[in-house]
Structure 1
Amino acid sequence: MHTHLALLRGINVSGHNMIKMDALKKALENIGYQNVRTYIQSGNVFIDTEEENGASVGFQIKQEIFKVFGHEVPVIVINKQDLEACFKNNLFLKEPECDTKKLYVAFISKELAPGAMNDLKMSMVKPDECQIDGNRIFIKYAVGAGKTKFDQKYIEKKLNVTATIRNWNTVTKLLEMYN
């Protein structure tokens, strides 16, 4: 049995793509996923399945959400090692007086190429900063997520990927739930 974490992008935000977590849980159980559990309303869903391939799981979840709720929702599936890497590889955490309230992680639909940092054109979003780590981008916002151009849409446009962003508190809680 494999445990996957599905990160749904753009549900229950400002009244758009509304999905109750109980209804989502039931829909995923109906297609055979076991031990389905959610964390907060923003679309963090743990599932257990025999399916090892995360991309396949993400595709099945995306299809079921469209079938049951009528919403086209991007889904990125990660595992425990992805979350652990957030703690091991995030250099912002090593800075003196690190303010974790300004730290976020963008989970990306594919491994990023070595030149991806240039593609982001970070000079356009200063003073925000980022670090690329495989299929993750560690973000440190200067002011906050609500007052930046460096958001999920910006990342998707510059890198031609699907992305979903979680704050550091959520990333921490998700790893605790995995454990």
Structure 2
Amino acid sequence: MTTKYAALLRGINVSGHKRVPMPELRTVLGELGHTDIATHLQSGNAVFRTADQDEDALATALEEAIEERFGFPVGCVVRGHTYLAAVAEACPYPAAELEGKQLHVTYFDRAVDAGRFAALDAQAYRPEAFELGDRCLYLYAPDGLGRSKLAEALARPRLTEGRTATTRNWNTVAKLVEMTRV
């Protein structure tokens, strides 16, 4: 039995840095033995099918293959449809009422201790807001991510240290749920 997964690559193809062309990413995934491969946008979203059920091992293998192929490290989070759909369903904000640029999900490679965020004065960033979920963080940024002071604060290394974290807007979150549907 095979499962369809999404691979979420962190920080590629941003302002010409860490360039990973999507056709080459699809080739790398194929060389790893995966099938039914597709990419979405240029920002490091790939979907594939495999019999392997270990998301962490899949992410590690992809990270190693990317570094070998392109010569630089890229953090990667791999998640299956069930998880991606559950994250979308658990969104604490009214996603259907918001523009995709206003709502984001940061996916983490493992659980994040809420204590890391305790010192952050969330009230100071209103109307922006965030909530932690299952290995993810939901961010409501009404003016978009590029103008978000809260997003900037949440990206501080002390909050995400030792973890791979990668953020997607709600349009991409919804598209990945659709693309991983069996």
Same fold (TM over 0.5): yes
Runs of at least 5 residues in structure 1 that lack an aligned partner in the other structure: none
Amino acid at match of 1:47: F
| SS in structure 2 at match of 1:106 | strand
| SS in structure 2 at match of 1:51 | coil
Mapped partners of 2:95, 2:173: distance in 1: 17
Once the two structures are superposed, residues 72-130 of structure 1 have per-residue CA deviations (whole angstroms, 9 ceiling, x without a partner) of 100011111222123321121279x5444300000011112343441544356444210
Mapped partners of 2:154, 2:12: distance in 1: 15
Runs of at least 5 residues in structure 2 that lack an aligned partner in the other structure: none
Structure-2 change in CA distance of 1:102 and 1:159 (3 Å): same
CA contact (8 A) 2:88 2:173 kept: no
Confirm whether residue 102 of structure 1 aligns to residue 105 of structure 2: no
Q: Return 138-147 or 163-172, whichever deviates more.
A: 138-147
CA contact (8 A) 1:155 1:163 kept: no
Other-structure match for 1:170: 172
Other-structure match for 1:135: 135
| SS in structure 2 at match of 1:3 | strand
Other-structure match for 2:30: 29
Mapped partners of 1:27, 1:138: distance in 2: 30
- C-alpha displacement of 1:178: 1.8
- TM superposition score normalised by structure 2: 0.87
Mapped partners of 1:168, 1:2: distance in 2: 23
Mapped partners of 1:144, 1:63: distance in 2: 33
Other-structure match for 2:63: 62
Matches within 5 A, 1:52-91: 52-91=53-92
Confirm whether residue 41 of structure 1 aligns to residue 42 of structure 2: yes
Q: Return 169-178 or 144-153, whichever deviates more.
A: 144-153
CA contact (8 A) 2:103 2:170 kept: yes
Aligned positions, number: 178
CA contact (8 A) 1:120 1:158 kept: no
